[in-house]
Amino acid sequence: SAVISQKPSRDICQRGTSLTIQCQVDSQVTMMFWYRQQPGQSLTLIATANQGSEATYESGFVIDKFPISRPNLTFSTLTVSNMSPEDSSIYLCGAEENTEAFFGQGTRLTVV
Amino acid sequence: TQLLEQSPQFLSIQEGENLTVYCNSSSVFSSLQWYRQEPGEGPVLLVTVVTGGEVKKLKRLTFQFGDARKDSSLHITAAQPGDTGLYLCARPRGGAGNMLTFGGGTRLMVKP
């Protein structure tokens, strides 16, 4: 099974700034994806990211706000831009391997 | 959007009790997955069910897929404090990859 490392695990950021979250997979995977999770609630898909192509965003999420990079088959980043308190949430990266989804431990972001 | 409705949203029980969590939708699924998420961690896959009427057991956990493949249940026998967590059902969104749509989740607390 794929092991996913995500960092930072948590951060407190000032409004108006940006934070880049890194996601490293221990094996090559075709598809990676990013979810947002409000504390105690379910997961909402932000976008999927395939290596060599632009990320595909879900309704309500735009590239200017959540730019994603996928430079190779083991790594992806999500940037939360121009943050506001409403962006406070847990951000989870994930990857698919053999029809199973694996997730990192999440990044708990607090915007003050 | 094909929604997954989970019930109950929150459940607090004593150690040794039994419980059932439900995941329902008006749509037919090709498959359905159950995940458990512990605080500070990403969701971890428990089981995938694909056949209508299928029953799978994982130690004290019993998973059932409805005959019509529109609903599923998770039954825990003799719950332990280690079962505490957020239980999520999820279905494939369709298309390439295995991006998932998650249910609202059931937060289970098992008191010793």
Domain of B89, CATH number, reads 2.60.40.10
- Rounded Cα distance between B103 and B24, Å, is 9
Higher-confidence residue of A111 and A50: namely A111
Query: For chain B, how many structural domains are there in total?
Result: 1
Q: List chain A residues with CB under 8 Å of B99.
A: 31, 33, 45, 48, 96, 101
Q: What is the pLDDT of residues B14-71, one digit of tens each?
A: 999 999 999 999 889 888 999 999 988 999 999 999 999 999 999 999 999 999 999 9
Instruction: Give the domain CATH number at A46.
Output: 2.60.40.10
Q: What is the pLDDT of residues A25-59, one digit of tens each?
A: 999 998 899 999 998 789 999 999 988 888 999 99
Residue span of the structural domain in which B85 resides: 5-93+100-111
Structure tokens at A17: 């700034």
User: Cβ(A44)–Cβ(A36) under 8 Å?
Assistant: yes
Q: Under DSSP, is residue A35 helix (H, G, I), strand (E, B) or coil? A: strand
Chain A residue nearest residue B40, CA to CA: A105
Strands A19-25 and A75-80: antiparallel
Chain B interface includes A100 (CB < 8 A): yes
Interface test with B, best of A24, A38, A42 (most B CBs within 10 A): A42
Query: For chain A, how many structural domains are there in total?
Result: 1
Q: Does B92 score more than 70 pLDDT?
A: yes
